[in-house]
Amino acid sequence: MSRRRVPVPAQSKIVILDFGSQYTQVIARRVRECRVYSEILPHTTTADELATGGAAGIILSGGPASVYAKGAPRVDRGIYRLGVPVLGICYGMQLLARDLGGAVEPSVEREYGSGRLTVTRKSPLFAGLPRGLDVWNSHGDRVTKLPAGFVSVGATENSKAAAIADTRRGFYGLQFHPEVSHTPRGSEIIENFVLGICGCRPDWTPGSFIERACAEIRAQVGEDRVVLGLSGGVDSSVAAALLHKAIGRQLTCIFVDNGLLRAGEREWVREIFGRHFHIDLKIIDASARFLGKLRGVTDPERKRKIIGQEFIRVFEAAAASLARRRKGRPCRFLAQGTLYPDVIESVPIAGNPASLIKSHHNVGGLPKRMKFELVEPLRQLFKDEVREVGLQLGLPREIVHRQPFPGPGLAVRILGEVTRARVRVLQAADEIVQAEMVSSGWYDRVWQSFAVLLPVRSVGVMGDERTFENTVALRVVESRDGMTADWVRLPYELLAKLSGRIINEVRGVNRVCYDVSSKPPATIEWE
């Protein structure tokens, strides 16, 4: 029986055009917090493409360039004729002003860091807000001449036009950054733009997402079979539950033991998904294959690409085996738990190839030739949204609130060559970290906590004997969505216990360090 295709309902959407700002992803998060769907697109996106996509409003992000510099990024000026509101932030405001006939010049006194905005004229952008606002600045230019139709609605000490508006056309500009936490009431400014000025409906909810995602999955898959790589982590688990709701027994989950997993992970996944949720689950031991391919490899990007390629090859073989056994249609689709931050970090910002942060095995690490078409039902979501969807789907809290675990597994937490012996050392250290974080009550208070095995050996003394053993680094961070993160100030007593247990119980380790770097400039994972 053919599956009836249900039309996917329209939803409100705000598009952010990216000019390379480090805060672009934060803008997208703030819009999502208004329960409105946001999407980041390159600044080269045309007005026709935006019109087809049905954006209710457009935000021009900040960026490191100066609008008057040679080769500075531009925008298709046709966006100003689409009839939708536009908000320019920092560089975006300067570009908006310049494009519409204003003037931008270098500021004699640059503004970096905290500042004070005075609202000088009533504006829907500041509805419900006080006349004085603490704001965060990061700019060296300023608008010196307003375009026709614009008025200044806010000023700082060094700029009489720190906030500008053309209410008739729905065009607004902010010289400061309302999206960052250093602008305490900036989220309310963005909400005023999204809900008040653009008239968006707050319809981006877990329930609405599930309804849309299921309709899209059914439309894409039809009657074909889908295989999903189930790791036991939050992303793949929620993807499995969503796909199972959408297509039922057309889904087969394949758990690949690549030899790079946490201790006991295979048994845990078998118990939860195979026996408890009754999802069609196939377990494959490919540890020797993966470790063999990684022998002698030390470059992080090569590790990720090798692991991504091997995953696909293992899946292709498993899918072919399933088709032969069941004498049915071959598995045409591969499902992945790709998230929006994976997509963002794997794509160069503003068309600059040098801005690539890293390849994710399920985004940039896939081979160009493979026998599957991809199904990525979570690629619109940030991590906290994935957790909300998981709870809505009925997954237990122990799965939904698991800390993130990288797709390439422990390979990106072992700096240098990955060997079976080094994996065992890190598995033992990681098991201690997880146990102590849970027993101390800190596990649910942080974003991620894990151990990293360094390619560093140092001298120590154990049992009155000289040792020359490995070093383990501890990484514990707090974050909302993984886009930015800060290191956690764990109690000294807990750090001492972690260090003591690892050195005493993990053979081959005689030194433990604590990572006190934030993201940016560091990343959460070490590779």
What SS3 state is found at 427?
helix
Question: Do 162 and 155 contact (CB within 8 A), yes or no?
Answer: yes
Q: Which of 34, 43, 90, 388 is catalytic?
A: 90
- H and E: helices and strands count for the chain: 14, 18
**What is the DSSP code string of 369-430?**
--S-EEE-TTTT--HHHHHHHHHHTT--HHHHTPPP--TTGGGGGB-S---HHHHHHHHHHH
Of 43, 139, 177, 244, the catalytic one is: 177
Which of 34, 111, 139, 179 is flagged as catalytic?
179
Provide the token pair at 158. Answer: 């060094």
Q: Are 188 and 129 in contact (CB under 8 A)?
A: yes
CA distances from 328 to 224, 252, 320, 324 (A): 10, 13, 10, 7
* Cα–Cα distance measured from residue 202 to residue 257, given in angstroms and rounded to the nearest whole number: 41
Does 182 participate in catalysis according to the annotation? no
Please choose, from the candidates 182, 192, 101, 210, the residue with its C-alpha nearest in 3D space to the C-alpha of residue 153.
192
Structure token pair of residue 238: 């929620």
179 is catalytic: yes
**What type of residue sits at position 481?**
D
Q: Which tokens hold the place of 85?
A: 């509101």
Measured CA distances, 414 to 298, 418, 471, 473 (Å): 9, 6, 11, 10
CB 42 within 8 A of CB 351: yes
Question: Closest by alpha carbon to 11, among 213, 150, 176?
Answer: 213
User: Which of 302, 427, 47, 50 minimizes the C-alpha distance to 39?
Assistant: 50
Q: Report the catalytic residues.
A: 90, 177, 179
